[in-house]
Every structure is written in C-alpha cells, then in structure tokens.
Amino acid sequence: MSKDRPENDNFDWYKDAVIYQIHIRSFFDGNGDGIGDLQGLIQKLDYLKFLGINAIWLMPFYPSPLKDEGYDIADYTRINPIYGSLGDFKKFLKEAHQRNIKVITELVINHTSSAHPWFQKSRAAKPGSYWRNFYTWSDDASEYAEARIIFRDFETSNWTWDPLAKAYYWHRFYSHQPDLNYDNPNVQKEVFKIVDFWMNLGVDGLRLDAIPYLFQREGTNCENLPETHAFLKKLSAHVNKKFSGRFLLAEANQWPDEAVKYFGQGDECQMAFHFPLMPRMYMAIKMEDRFPLIDIIEQTPAIPDNCQWAIFLRNHDELTLEMVTDEERDYMYRMYAQDQQMRINLGIRRRLAPLMEGDRRRIELLNALLFSLPGTPIIYYGDEIGMGDNIYLGDRNGVRTPMQWSGDLNAGFSKATPQKLYTPVIIDPEYNYQAVNVELQLQNSHSLLWWMKRTIEVRNSYPVFSRGSIEFLTAENPKLLAFYRAYEDQCLLVLCNLSKTIQTTFLDLSNFENYNLLEVFGKNQFPPIQKTPYFFVLPAYGFLWLELQKPQSIISEENKAEEIEINKNLAELFEGKTRRKLETVLEHYIINRRWYRSKNHKIAKLSIYDFILVLKKPSPVYLLLVLIEFRDKEAEKYSLFITPEENHHEISQTGNQKVICSLKQDNQSPAYLVDAAHIPSLWNALFNLFGSNRQIKGSKGVLSILPNRGYKKRLLSESNFQKEPINAEQSNTSIRYNAALFKLYRRFETGINPEVEITELLTKKSNFRLPRILSQLQYKDQGKPVTLAIIQEHIPNEGDAWAYSLNHLGNLLEEGNSDSLLFPSVELPWHKRVTVPEAVYHRLGVYSRAVEMLAEKTAAMHIALAQASNQDDFKQENFSWFDQRSLYQSLRSIISKAKKHLNAFKSELEPELYKTLQDKLAGNALITSIQSVLDKRLYGKKIRCHGDFHLGQILYTGDDFIIIDYEGEPNRPLSERKIKRSPLKDIAGMLRSFHYAVYTISEGRQKDLAFKPFSPENLYAWICQLYLNTYLRHEAILSLLPADENDLLLLLKIFMMEKVFYEIEYEINNRPHWVHVPCKGLIALLE
C-alpha cells in the first residue's frame, strides 16, 4: 500500500463515491502559462472537498500529441510537461488522500498514439518480430469486415496503410491511434507493468478506456469477445492480489446485456458505465414520459454484489447516442441538437445547462435522477455551477473551456494574458463567466452550486442511494416517475415530475401502512401511510425524496439489544454500514443523557459530523462531533469521547449508563463502547494531552489544544493527588483531576464560548477571584472556531451555594421553635423595598451573612464586567427604548408559549394550583399588566452578564463564595448568550434560585412544620429583601440601573416574570416533577 493512501479503506468504497471528472488542462492554471496543471488542481482541492465529492476522475495527462485530447498516449509512465511533473502528481495524490478524496486515472490500453515508441519500433520492425507483434498488422484491409467504424465522421476504414511498414495497421478509433495486439503475451505483460506503476504510486482506481475492442476475430463484430473477458479476469486477479481497496472501471459503450458481462462473476471490472441509461434521462424529460427510463432499467440484468454501475449525464464531454435506436437518435438530434455544429460522431457535444436551455428546474431534476438512480454518479467539472459551452470551437473543445472561478480576468482560471489561454473562456451573454462563476455562487446560498452541495450531502448521508435495490411503482400518470430504493433498514421513495406543468397522482403504498414519510431535505413530516392510496402533487419538473420511517413500536423492538461488530480496530466504526449502526446506537444513548437538551423534539436524523483520534494509548480515544437534525427546530451539535473498554470492573464502577453499546471483535474478549469521559483509567492520558499544544486533524476540521503557561505545573502542584467525576445534574460533563477541572461542553455551537471570553477578561482586568482557564480544546471547521472544552483551575470548596443554602435553611427549620420561625409578613422587594430588621437577621442566623456575601460577590462581578470598557464585546451600552420594546415583546411571546404548555400539562398539576394559575392567566390581563414597561422611558446600562446566575453557580470555600460557570444559559444560542443585558437579569436569576431553595426545604419537611407557625413565603421575601438591599449599596451598581427606584423595581419585576416563565417551560420539558415550584413563584409575582 502506498504511504500516501488513507488506511482502513472499505474494499467497495467506490459504491459510495460521488465522482468529479476533471480535465487538468481546463481546471486551474497554477503557473500562469494559460494551461491548467497539477499545481493548480492541488490549490482547488479544498473547493472539491467543500462540494462534497469524494473521488476525482482525471482525464489523460500523459505525454501525447493531443490529437484526441490525450487519449492518444505516447508514454504511459510520465506526466505531460504542460501539466507538471511526476513529483507534482505525487503531491496531488497525497493532498487528495489527506482530504479523503480518492483518485481515479485513465488507462487507455486499447490503443496508443502513433507517436508512441512502441509503434515507431513496430512499423520499422520485420514481420513476426518482437516489436512488430505489439500491434495488429495485415496485408489485407478487408479483414474483420463486420467490425463497425466508430468515428464515421472522420474515418472510412478500421485499417490504415503505413508506408514504412508496407502494411495496414488496425485501429478502432482514429487512424493516429493504432490498436495494441492483445494476442501477444508481451503486450499483456507491459500493460500489467503500467498498472503496477500507477497503483504503487497510490492511485485508487483505473478507468479502462475502450475496453470492448481489445481482441479481433474474423466473423465477429470484434467487440465483447470471450478473449477480452479472459484478459480482464487476469488483470483483475493481478490487481486484487497486489493492491487492496482498488477498482477497475470499464468503459464499455454497450447495451446492458453486453455491458453487464464486464463484471464477470465479480472477477473482472468492479464498475462499468451504464451508457444506455444516460440518453433516456433526456428523452424522458423531453417526451414527458417515464417509459424510456423504466424500460432500460428493467432491461438491465442484476450484477454481482461487489460491483456497481457508473452513471452520468454525459460521457464526460459528449451526450453519446450509440446505445439508442436510429429513431431515438433522430429524436434526440431534433430535440437537443438542431444545429449541425452541436453534433459529433454519434453524439451531441453540449454541456448540461445549454441542453436544458438554462432551465434551473430541469437541471435540478436531471441531477436528482443522477443521484437517486442505482449507481455511482459522475459530475463533469463546471456542471455544478451551470457552465455553458462554445459550439464554435473545434472537436470537443467547446465543452472543455476553462473552469469559471470568478468574474476576474480569464474567469479566474489563469493569470496569463488571454491570448495565451489554450481555449477562450465563455463570453456568451447567458453563460458569461462574469455571471456564472464559483465566487458569485458561493456568496448566494440559493445558487445552483449550493443546491448541488446540499444534494450531495443528503445523498452521502443515505447509503440506500448508493447501495440499494430499486422497485418501480405504477402511477396512473405517465408523466410521473416513482420508485423505491431499499437497503438494509433504509427505504426511500423517489418521485419525479417529468413534465413542464404541475402533476398529481395516487400511489398505492399500503405495504408500508403506518410508516411515516419524511422529506429528506427540509425534514418535513408527511402524514402517515394508510391502506388507501396516497395522494401526491408535484410542481413542474419537481421531485421528492421521502424516507419511509418505521413506526416507533417497531423501532423499539429492534433496538433492545445493540451490538456493533468490527474486525480489527476502532476506526472501522466510521465506515459504511458500521458507521450507520453507530449513529443509530448513538441516538439511543444521547437522548437518554441529562445533557441532551431537546427531549421533547422528534429527531429526524443523527449523523457523525466529524471524528478525531485524540489518543492512541493506553486505549484509542476518538472525539465525536455529532449532528442531530430535528423535524421541528434547528439542528444541534454534541460532543463526546468514545473508547473501547474490556474491564468489566471499570464498567461496574462507572455505571452501565455510560455504556453506548457492546463491541464484538474478532478473536477478542467482549468489550463495550463507552463514553471515555467516565473512564478514570484514561484521565492521566487525557489531561497530559490537554497540555500538549498541538493540532489534530479530523475528517472535516482541525482540533487545536491551547494550554496556558504553567498548565502542567498547576496540574501537578498538589501532593494530595485526586481525580473524580463531578456527577451533579448539569448540561456539561466535568472531571476533577488534581488541581484542575475538565469541562466538556456537550452541546456546542460555532464561536468562542462566553465562559472563555469572560473568564479571560476578568482574570486580566480585575482582582475578581474566579477559576482561571488552564487549557482549551478548540475545533475549527472552514476557519470558524468552536470551543469544545476547557481545563480550569480547581478551587478547593465545600460545595456550592445551593447545597450551603439547603443545609443552613434546613437547620433553621429543624432547630427553630415557634418564635424563631415566625418571620413577620413583608412584601416582596420588587413591590416595595424595606429595611431588614434585627429580628429577621437573628432568625436567619449565619445565613443572613451568607446572603449578604452573595450579594457583595454579585455586585463585584457586575462592577468588574462594567469596567471592561476597552473591548467592544464588553463595553457598556445605554438601556434604550428599543430594549424596552424588545423586553416587552420577548416576555409577551414567552407568556403565550408557557400558557399553551401549561394547558397541555394541566393533568400533571395539583387541581388547586392549576385553578389558581388559570385565574391569574385568564384573558389578556397579564399581557396588559406587562405593558407598564412601555409606559415611560427607563434608563440604565447594559453590560455582559453571567447569564445563568443561580446558587448552583457559586462555590463555598469555607470562608468565601466564588462565582463560576460563565457560559450563560446553555439552552440558549451562543450569540444570544453574548447579548448585553441589564444586570438586573442576573439578580432575577438569583432571587428565583432562593425561591427554589426555600420551597425545596419546606416541602421536604412538611410533616415537621405542620405544627409550627412557619411561612415559606415570608422567609423567601426577607431573603430577597436582604440580598437586594446589600447589592444596591454600591454606587457603581446604582450607576448601571434606573435612578428612580420605582423604575428599578418595575424592571426587576419584568425580569423576574421572564425568568419564572422560562423556568416553567424548562421544567415541563426536563423535570416535570419540579414545575409546581415556578408556578407558585408566578402566583407570588402576580399577587
């Protein structure tokens, strides 16, 4: 295996390929001489990766007189100097393989150029000699008279007289392309050497040009002879023995029953072009009738399991019409090539877009057929942007014009003067390079280029397209084509409207009764299938790809026992059907995790977005980035580390809930695939990795590890070495490792996490105490950074302020007598602020000091954030009228949603509580009441805030409180978490947290308190009064808030209301048994 080839190839990877065909000369000029070259191609590999293709087919690049665009080869083992050197080709191979792009090259072995040294030696050699027998010579030009002349436009015979040899030589194509003599074993040996040369370099596949014509026999048409198939078996066996994961592609322009023979029994070519299918796609659209397509596919025999058809929209540069009847050919000429200059040989030399008269709908429909019919699709360069052609250029040059990269000089193809270009760029008004180019279409998400990219992505995510069977459905309307594609547990329904007008039909789908139909692009759910025929409406040239999804009851039964089988190593998890099974079990695992956010939303699809090998020892550990698409909301991305674990004791210690699935490996003991963040034996290696300051490439992006100075020193600073998971109910996963704390952001978005931004700012700009960041894991895809995880300083503590509050409030209730629990009645502070009397201080005991300390810490945090005036992201802004209006609209929307959810949830609430809520929320009284925020102008400042401020975000060290977790509310989008707010929003969060604490303690001790005069409402109100009074002592805080106290309290009440409605939504979706707490808080707010 070449060192430049990717490891762990599937042997039949070609089945899942999307191939992009390139003429090097036409793609990109890297050295400014007016001709495309290998250096230019290397520069454009990232574009091809972006497009989503995973294989490149290079047209011939060998030394050649170029009388037939390089198919007249003069040397099989060198590179034509106009394209570069062999070193350039090796570099291209390496760069392509690094991007997981395969490379397919041409092997034109039927014939050579007449300029090839072999032919020159042959024509000069004596009859019967070694070199003479390399080609087929005769004194009689009437031999093999039944062989057709393929290029009738240019040749009148398959024999040409050579004056030096004084004999005729045989050629099936142009007279300057003499055919090799495959009856000569020496020729076959030389061909094997050529194959070895290119495959040793790392080429992944070879297209065997003109393969049906290798042998000649009198009395036959000299095509598809048994000797040809015998030779192909020898060649295939040779390749399979010496090289793994390679394939041979037969260019056999034959009817299906002949073309299928080039597969043999799976022991000849692994792929073959399906030539008759191509013209019938065009015929079906022009005739508005599905018959030509169904007819040819039903004529196509079954093929061996290891084989695949290659399908295409033109035979690279020609819509060839060899495999049609004379009548069909005449029809195609009349419909698509009335101008004689558009025709060549038995075909049409036009690009896709001009053939479709620039009609975007028909272009999309033809590509949809290309991507959904059985076979591996091939895209001709430039078709993804709808390039035009120039029929006035000779031969096939009209469809080989320079790739249109931009509207700059020479379409961005070359920096050479335009006169040096090998052929002019397209300046036709409709397809002018200034209007049709990559740069423009990249900027327009509705362009054909983006449509092609998205369609390729969808196709790549459904193996059924590349590997599935096909079954046509009978629709009464012949203008509609409908068929199933089925593979393993996937089934897709494809519908295509071949007409220029809207069409309807009924389809009998009763075999899939109760199945759901999911449109694969928008993830829109169609009504379930019933016994009665299903009604479809398709717009002109429209198509539908619908996934048939099993009812949930069937899925549940199938998913009871999950096991994945791999042969050698963990990397196999990301290949083919094993990857699809992993995605299935990941869905089951993720939806049952606490950190999964969207439990009330139906998943349309889960896919592995990227995978990165971060550790090889002691066990391989991969970082997985998982994309989850939903039917009713925007997609989400999640991260997790996975590793195999054979230690059953370790599993039992960490808990089976960390097990993703069972792993079955050849000749190895059973193992589990587990969430590696929960395997303590790996933590040493992981924490060392986070100090390594390195980059690791994934399948799509790059993971950067960014340690700060002193990372390792801090990590190893404590003599009391400790490591432990932090099992609190959280949205992230945290692990304490000695003096450091690892935090993995399970759900991530593009951008730097606010926790990183705020922590780094507060560390540099103030004396405010908080855990410093020691290292970061940052992922980049297409240059955009994503914070995946951080390593923080671990601050020794006795727990968080939530646990502290529950403990001290619990003690207060347990130890208190009738007098000490008798808190006087008081209004909540957003109604009216009062001074806290000494008696309340006394009854609260040490907790009163804790509340004051918490308020002081809150004020210090806000003051530090407000003083960061030299950074635009943190510079304070005025609270404007627009902000007031925005706050009103936001609250109005939240109230409406919460009311709907509460109505749907009423059966879970205590009847008395629900009735009180109904009374409070009836009519529009509540909406009317919040309009008070618009009654007058409110002043103040906006700053970057904590964003998710509550008692659980504060550590208690024994003598101090430390605020942590500056990432904001994890359920909100990253951009929303960075919006500047009034600091009162954080205050509302803390006041609501006090409410949760008081009610948690009082409800847990209802029996103990039954005979004590205790009011949790009064206790809560005094805690809020104390906290708010302490916070507002600071002049720097008052400068951020409305100067008028009534305005300040109004704004606080609005934020409280916003928070409590958010809590109701959150609890219904995540912790239904807690929903009564914010409901009671809402009632108190509305009193």
First to last CA, the chain: 77
Q: Among 281, 98, 301, 112, which Cα is nearest to 194's?
A: 112
The span from the CA of 718 to the CA of 101, in Å, is 48
List strand residue ranges (DSSP E) for 171-284, in order.
Answer: 205-208, 247-250, 271-273
Helix (H, G, I), strand (E, B) or coil at 22: strand
| Helix or strand run (H / E) with residue 505 | strand 503-507
The span from the CA of 493 to the CA of 505, in Å, is 14
φ and ψ of 773, to 5 deg = -85, 130
Helix (H, G, I), strand (E, B) or coil at 451: helix
| Contacts made by residues 222-230, CB under 8 angstroms, sequence distance 24+ | 222/144, 222/146, 222/147, 222/172, 223/147, 223/254, 223/258, 224/252, 224/254, 224/258, 224/261, 227/182, 227/183, 228/182, 229/261, 229/262, 229/264, 229/268
CA distances from 1005 to 621, 700, 824, 1016, 1068 (A): 47, 55, 20, 11, 24
- In this structure, what is the dihedral angle of CA atoms 339, 342, 346, 352, given to the nearest 10 degrees? -120
The span from the CA of 715 to the CA of 774, in Å, is 9
Catalytic-role residue among 16, 37, 179, 209: 209
| Residue 1083 buriedness (CB in 10 A; 0-12 / 13-18 / 19+) | middle
The span from the CA of 623 to the CA of 675, in Å, is 10
43, 30 Cβ separation under 8 angstroms: yes
344, 153 Cβ separation under 8 angstroms: yes
Q: What share of the chain is helix, strand, coil (3-state, %, to 5)?
A: 40, 20, 40
Q: Among 118, 470, 141, which Cα is nearest to 294's?
A: 470
Q: What is the CA radius of gyration of the chain?
A: 36
Give me the residue label for tokens 């020193």: 713
Six-digit token pair at 847? 């907790």
In degrees, to the nearest 5, what angle opens at C-alpha 425 toward C-alphas 422 and 431? Answer: 155
Question: What one-letter code names the amino acid at 655?
Answer: G
In degrees, to the nearest 5, what angle opens at C-alpha 293 toward C-alphas 287 and 295? Answer: 110
Pairing of strands 247-250, 271-273: parallel
Within 10 Å of residue 589's Cβ, how many Cβ atoms? 21
326, 332 Cβ separation under 8 angstroms: no
962, 770 Cβ separation under 8 angstroms: yes
| Residues recorded for the chain | 1087
Which residues are bridge partners to 611 per DSSP? 624
Pairing of strands 773-781, 784-793: antiparallel
Pure H helices in 202-314: 226-242, 256-259, 277-287, 291-298
In degrees, to the nearest 5, what angle opens at C-alpha 179 toward C-alphas 186 and 380? Answer: 115
Which residues are bridge partners to 733 per DSSP? 744
Six-digit token pair at 547? 């996934």
In degrees, to the nearest 5, what angle opens at C-alpha 955 toward C-alphas 953 and 957? Answer: 175
Pure H helices in 906-1044: 911-921, 925-930, 974-977, 984-1004, 1006-1009, 1016-1031, 1035-1038
Catalytic-role residue among 29, 37, 162, 251: 251
Query: Can 1044 be counted among the known catalytic residues?
Result: no
Query: Can 967 be counted among the known catalytic residues?
Result: no
776, 787 Cβ separation under 8 angstroms: yes
Question: What residues act catalytically?
Answer: 209, 251
